[in-house]
Amino acid sequence: MNINELKQKFTEVFGTENTPRLFAAPGRVNLIGEHTDYNGGHVFPCALSFNTYVLINKRSDNKVRLYSANFENKSVIEADLHHIVYDKKQDWANYPLGVLAVLLKREYPITTGFDVLFWGDIPQGAGLSSSASIEVATAFALSCVFDLRIPNFEISKIGQEAENKFVGMNCGIMDQFASAMGKENHAILLDCNTLNYRYAPLDLNGISILLCNTNKPHNLIESKYNERRAQCEHALQQLQSQLSIHALGELTEKTFEAHQEIITDPVERKRAKHAVYENQRALLAVQKLQEGNLEDFGKLMNASHVSLRDDYEVTGPELDAMASAAWEQQGVLGARMTGGGFGGCVVALVKNEHLETFKNNVARIYQAKTGYKPDFYVASAGAGAREIK
């Protein structure tokens, strides 16, 4: 949908002639550093040029009305500003309502209800953080419309709290941070332990970031995601009996190897190993990117997928089939699952001259193995949350 179509849809749905304000927040792809964010490690995401768009108008009463143009078969969802509660029947609307609940709990002066329409071009269920982009777009829009002046840095934390406390998905900060703080043509190296960050230019010189969608939808709340987090937290507690650390991300590989036997459960030991080694891979990968050594960056991506498959066990047959098909192709530097896992996308670095052959070959191999027809998107690093005038 273009902007005029969205405005027309807003008028159709809410029956108001007032022109709504328009905001956007992007999805993200994580290039490397997976399942390290809630383990106090480093991540290396970039915001995408796919976005969630929000059109919003204040009302004169306390009614909150929400509509998604992505789900046209679903009706407007209504809530009362003074009674925002989680309800499974509210479906997708729990993400923006969760943000509203956090803002009200923090006593931001949201003084009236509002009408809000959402539409996104982020592929659903692809692991590109459409939910985080909804949260960030909502928080950013409410901040502007009610003149709350919340910095984007803080907006990312509000989005995370909404997902953790309201929706019940125990995610780290990465998705919301990338959506709020994204910068065109740059990725972000974020230390999730301290929230220190820096931007790194994506100078890829004839190489594309290709998203390979398995079209195996994932629902992280119903997946093993929260279980993995609990396993890492227990491993950390055991390590803390002998080591003065606050997070697994503080450990080097050498320190982990010297003390790993403290972790009594062999499965939890594998989970912790992934968190430690993946953090080090992310730091090394950024160094390789800055040196212009994309070949080594790609090798680290491959190693990341293997660790996510064998030590963290969050890939599954579809992501593994997609990654292994990618690794076989001419012109690929590296490929790995991205996002929470259990479905979604593989991200690959592919030389431009081999892009079409890569897509054709991978599609054929992957579909023969899984029965799913994949989709491919060339990704570009886009801007973070913003108003569109």
Which residue in this structure is represented by tokens 């899984």? 370
Q: What backbone torsions phi and psi does residue 9 show, to the nearest 5 degrees?
A: -65, -40
CB atoms within 10 A of CB 308: 23
CB contact set of 6 (below 8 Å; sequence gap of 6+): 22, 53, 55, 69, 117, 119
Which residue in this structure is represented by tokens 């934390």? 157
Question: How do strand 386-388 and strand 63-68 relate by DSSP bridges?
Answer: unpaired
CA distance 51 to 349: 22
DSSP E strand boundaries for 12-113: 21-30, 42-43, 45-58, 63-68, 77-80
By C-alpha distance, which of 362, 309, 305, 372 is closest to 332?
362
**Residue 61 annotated in active site:** no
Whole-angstrom CA distances from 189 to 125, 158, 277 are: 25, 20, 16
- Please report which residue ranges of 200-354 form alpha helices under DSSP H: 225-240, 253-259, 266-290, 294-310, 317-327
DSSP label of 342 = S
Which residue in this structure is represented by tokens 């179509």? 5
CA distance 374 to 302: 20
- With contact defined as beta carbons under 8 Å apart, do 142 and 66 qualify? no
**Active-site entry in 175, 191, 311, 320:** 175
State the catalytic residues: 175
